Amino acid sequence: MQAALAELLARAAPAATPVALGLLELQADRQFHRIPQAERQPLVDDALASGEQAARAVRAAHGTDDPQVLARRLGVRVEVVAGEGGFGSVLVLADYVKRPPCIRLYAPAIDALDRRLEAYPDRDRLAAGTRAIFLAHELFHHVEGQQPSHALAARHRMALFALGPLKLTVGLASLAEIAAGAFAQHLLSLRYHPKLLDVVALFARDPDAARQLVDRLCAIGSYIQEEPCPPSIAARS
C-alpha cells in the first residue's frame, strides 16, 4: 500500500505546481462551468498571490510564522477534537467557526493522514505532522474574514441569472481554499501547495479515486505546459 502511494506521489510531483494544484481545486468549484476558460488561470494566480501576501503580512505584523502563536495573537481559539468531523464519505480535517472565532482540528483524521506521509515530497518539513498546515489554512479564513468586502469570493463573482439591470451572482468558494493553501505554504516554507495532501488522504479511502485525481493533475500540468507527469506503472506495463 505504501509502495503504491509512493509511486503515485512520485508521478504527481512534477506536475504539482501551485498553479496546477490551484486549477485542480478550481475544477471542483460548483460554479466552474460558468468560468470562461481564459479567466481560470488568472483567477488561480490571484488567489495564490492573495494567500502569499497575507502570509507575509501576518508574519511582519506579529513577528512569527508559528500558526499556534498567530492564532493566540489574533484571538482565535484552537480546539483539538477527539472525534470525527466528517460525515459519510466526506473527510474533514479542520474547520473554522466565525463567532466566536475558533479553529477545530480533528485529531483522528489528521493523525491518520500523518501516518501515511513517508513518501510525501514535503515530509522532511513536516517533522511534527500536518496539524500546523491545517491550522494555518484555517487562519487564512479568519484573516480574510476581517475585510469581507475584499475577500476573493466578493471580488470574483459569477452571474447565475440576469434580467435587464437585475443580476444574481455567486462567489467562487474555491478561491479562498486555493489562497488558504498558499497562505500555509508560504507561512510554513513548504515546497508544495498543501492541496497535494488530498492525494494521500484520498488514497487511504479510495486508491482508484486518488489515481484519477493525479490523472487530472497531470492533464492540467500538460495543458499549462509545465513538466508532464511520468506514465503510471500500469501504463508502462
Average pLDDT over every residue of 46-50: 98
pLDDT level of residue 1 (50, 70, 90 thresholds):
confident
pTM for this one? 0.93
pLDDT for 237 equals 40
pLDDT for 226 equals 55
Residue-by-residue DSSP string for 176-201: HHHHHHHHHHHHTT-SS-GGGHHHHH
pLDDT higher than threshold 60 for residue 82: yes
- Nearest CA-CA partner of 143 in 218, 59, 42, 203: 59
pLDDT digits (tens, 9 = 90+) for 161-187: 887 788 899 999 999 999 999 999 999
